Amino acid sequence: MTPTRLSEVWPDLERVARAEGVLRLGASGIDDEHAALFAEWLARGGHASMHYLAKNADVRERPRERYPWARSVVSILVPYAGERPAAPPGALSHHIARYALGDDYHEVLDRILRKFEAALDGVKTWRYVDTGPLSDRAYAAQAGLGWIGKNGMLIDEQHGSYVFIGTLLTALEHDVEAATVADRCGACTRCLDACPTNAILPDRTLDSAHCISYATIEHRGALDAFVAERLEGNAFGCDVCQEACPWNHAPADAHPAFAPREAYRATPVTDLFRFAQADFSALFAKSAIKRAKLAGMQRNIESL
């Protein structure tokens, strides 16, 4: 008999979570409590050239119109490397964000979410990893997996923000109680103070145009001069605000798929200047770094 309520299958989902190295598992309703803030951020152009974020903004505000069958959202947290591996000076691993030191999280979490779907055989679902029109962080926070910090990151009280989020919409009625997680940022402003480009705004949003992660990954064309002068060694992404966060003092052990790659420790970052496309594709196979493209990485390294 096909289940109708999330509580009926929750023990099965917990077993999948343990087997797949999931750090946290939670659930929430389908409505996004942060949608209004997101709409305001879009209206003032905080998303810079990431027009895809505005394309489906109405879905985030009214998710039931796009997914009328959805009744609950299952969220998972999977940890990546919180510690950067020792490496020779100038190694590529010093210049890329921690989340990109291992395999592409989109692919890894997609495989994990498929296991959850298999445990919900016969139940209509839709999975996504940082690619859908809905907010993974908002749902994870509503599921009691953490709070959204002043740097916009989801923060787990025990292990901090070095985590990936996977999201699964289901047709099951939401009847699993979520833990209440208080906002623990308090008066702390370490992330705002540490940001080299002042991209973190007081309302817990970002000025994407000045964000180093946006500039080195999403932006196409020449880097903004203000940002280029303040990369602080970042060729792909940026961890400065997370490094400054006191909640990241005890990160969880990384999921095996996100163990830092030895090739990144062994490759001097300047080697990318002589790379052909085939070299780039080989080094970054199954890596999130592919998104920046070879020309983008070379552009970024020129400004280091």
* Residues recognised as catalytic: 130
Exposed, middle or buried by CB within 10 Å (0-12, 13-18, 19+), for 97? buried
Task: Give the span between the Cα atoms of 130 and 139, in whole angstroms.
Answer: 12
The distance of Cα 65 from the centroid of its chain, to the nearest Å, equals 25
| 3-class state of residue 183 by DSSP | coil
Task: Give the span between the Cα atoms of 195 and 200, in whole angstroms.
Answer: 7
Whether 292 contacts 226, CB under 8 Å: no
The dihedral formed by the CA atoms of 17, 181, 179 and 246, expressed in degrees to the nearest 10? 30
Task: Give the span between the Cα atoms of 242 and 191, in whole angstroms.
Answer: 7
Exposed, middle or buried by CB within 10 Å (0-12, 13-18, 19+), for 28? buried
Query: Which residue is listed with tokens 């592919």?
Result: 290
Positive or negative: CA dihedral 17, 18, 22, 26 = positive
Separation of first and last alpha carbons in the chain: 59
Q: What phi, psi does 12 have (nearest 5°)?
A: -65, -40
Task: Give the span between the Cα atoms of 206 and 199, in whole angstroms.
Answer: 6
Instruction: Tell me the C-alpha to C-alpha distance, in Å, between residue 160 and each of 90, 108, 157.
Output: 28, 20, 6
